């Protein structure tokens, strides 16, 4: 097939990471790929290294339509947020063509809040099973066969990667000033205040009062948070590093941790920041955000791949539990690696994407519909069993705000 991949930008985010991996995989399977992006970025080097043609085009219908006429794709693979965005110009461009090109959409955030795109979107692919379930619930649609007739799931792909040599890990921990008997926790994120939450810091400091042999690495907190930590009395328990885009440096950093702390005020619709350390055999402590994205619960299966703890008290207990039990850390790390390599298997992900692309070209329905529905029901049951926590205090902390958000969404659906 001739496939045009359509992106808003070629930045370093998870969306672009997955788009490039899929484009490379489809090319390796013999398809002719061309990537069209509205803004340039560092991912372009990755694509060109794999000899995938890239074109940066203005966010204007005429040049986009001209580029599509020149390439002549049989199908378009578009990566969109699920709400109105700059890439909606694709719909205007398609109207300028003599014949409609089928569009398979990767829906990044599990949102169905852009009715205009229904006119040009033939299939939707969600990036995790939880995101698909949440998309149906947010839009008050039944999770049934009709929902999956033209929708499916292709989990973001992740290639298996082994940790660096133990000598390199030991040298880095020594460089960071981590003693042999200390347990190193780590939180990795871009320094975006809109994602930041104090939960990890509050929980860590609670745990520190009971176990002084723990340290927390942050890469990279928002500038104000970093400044406050450097000036704090307990500054020696924190390691603060600048953000990096170097994959090898990140691999070594992840491998040097004992446990990953993942917190985000908006949750995850997939979460490479969770998946990548799991891929290296590291357990994760995360939290539930029932009113936002919840795929972190799908990745970090509670009690198996790590722990889900959603209040400072619960997360402090989780930190102390893993800090005090090296065998449990190893056991959960092995389970985390096995789970994420199965969930995000690149061949499985590519098979699903390729099959749906073929179905779109043939104007067919989702061939995975029955299996997808069964998997979605299973995911929904797991989400409901865990998203409100595992203690009475977590229930009180999470349920009320979730219900207020759902009521707001219900009212908005009638506007």
Residue 149, pLDDT above cutoff 70: yes
CATH H-level superfamily of 2-157+345-374: Glycogen Phosphorylase B; (3.40.50.2000)
CATH 3.40.50.1220 fits 166-343, yes or no: no
The per-residue pLDDT for range 160-177, each reduced to its tens digit, is 999 999 999 999 999 999
Number of residues written out for the chain: 415
First to last CA, the chain: 41
With cut-offs at 50, 70 and 90, classify the pLDDT of residue 274: very high
What tokens appear for 382 in the block?
């797991």
The per-residue pLDDT for range 219-231, each reduced to its tens digit, is 989 999 999 999 9
Residue 290, pLDDT above cutoff 90: yes
The per-residue pLDDT for range 3-38, each reduced to its tens digit, is 999 999 999 899 999 999 999 999 999 999 999 999
d(CA 220, CA 203): 18
Residue 415: predicted pLDDT: 65
38-75: burial string, b at 16+ Cβ within 10 Å, e else: beebebbebbeeeebebeebebebeebbebbeebebbb
Which ranges in the chain are annotated with CATH 3.40.50.2000? Answer: 2-157+345-374, 166-343
CB 101 within 8 A of CB 74: yes
Q: Give me the chain's average pLDDT, please.
A: 96
The per-residue pLDDT for range 254-263, each reduced to its tens digit, is 999 999 999 9
The per-residue pLDDT for range 338-350, each reduced to its tens digit, is 999 999 999 999 9
- Chain Cα centroid distance, residue 330: 24
CB 322 within 8 A of CB 331: no
With cut-offs at 50, 70 and 90, classify the pLDDT of residue 270: very high
With cut-offs at 50, 70 and 90, classify the pLDDT of residue 191: confident
CB 15 within 8 A of CB 108: yes
What tokens appear for 250 in the block?
């990140």
Mean of pLDDT values over 179-187: 97
CB 297 within 8 A of CB 377: no
């Amino acid at each position: 097939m001739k496939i045009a991949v359509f992106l808003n930008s070629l930045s370093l985010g998870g969306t672009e990471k997955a788009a490039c991996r899929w484009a490379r995989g489809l090319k390796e399977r013999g398809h002719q790929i061309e990537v069209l992006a509205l803004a340039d970025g560092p991912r372009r080097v990755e694509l060109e290294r794999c000899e995938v043609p890239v074109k940066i085009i203005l966010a204007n219908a005429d040049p986009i339509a001209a580029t599509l006429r020149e390439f002549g794709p049989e199908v378009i693979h578009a990566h969109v947020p699920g709400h109105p965005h700059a890439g909606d110009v694709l719909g205007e461009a398609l109207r300028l063509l003599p014949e409609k090109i089928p569009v398979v959409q990767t829906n990044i955030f599990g949102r169905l809040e852009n009715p205009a795109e229904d006119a040009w979107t033939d299939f939707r692919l969600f990036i995790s099973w939880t995101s698909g379930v949440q998309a149906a619930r947010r839009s008050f649609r039944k999770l049934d066969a009709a929902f999956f007739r033209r929708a499916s799931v292709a989990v973001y792909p992740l290639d298996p990667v082994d940790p660096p040599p133990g000598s390199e890990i030991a040298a880095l921990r020594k460089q960071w000033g981590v003693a042999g008997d200390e347990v190193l926790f780590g939180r990795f994120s871009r320094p975006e205040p809109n994602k930041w939450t104090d939960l990890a810091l509050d929980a860590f400091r609670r745990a520190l009062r009971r176990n002084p042999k723990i340290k927390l690495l942050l890469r990279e907190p928002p500038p104000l948070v970093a400044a406050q930590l450097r000036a704090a009395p307990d500054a020696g328990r924190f390691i603060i590093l600048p953000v990096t885009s170097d994959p090898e440096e990140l691999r070594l950093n992840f491998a040097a941790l004992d446990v990953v702390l993942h917190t985000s005020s908006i949750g995850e619709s997939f979460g490479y920041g969770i998946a990548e350390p799991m891929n290296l055999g590291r357990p994760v402590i995360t939290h539930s955000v029932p009113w936002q994205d919840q795929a972190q619960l799908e990745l970090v299966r509670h009690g198996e791949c790590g722990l889900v703890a959603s209040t400072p008290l619960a997360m402090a207990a989780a930190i102390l539990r893993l800090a005090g039990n090296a065998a449990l850390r190893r056991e959960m790390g092995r389970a985390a690696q096995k789970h994420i390599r199965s969930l995000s298997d690149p061949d499985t992900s590519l098979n699903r994407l390729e099959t749906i692309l073929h179905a779109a070209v043939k104007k067919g329905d989702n061939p995975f519909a029955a299996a997808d529905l069964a998997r979605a029901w299973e995911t929904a049951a797991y989400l409901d069993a865990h998203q409100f926590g595992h203690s009475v205090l977590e229930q009180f902390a999470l349920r009320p705000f979730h219900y207020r958000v759902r009521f707001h969404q219900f009212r908005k659906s009638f506007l």
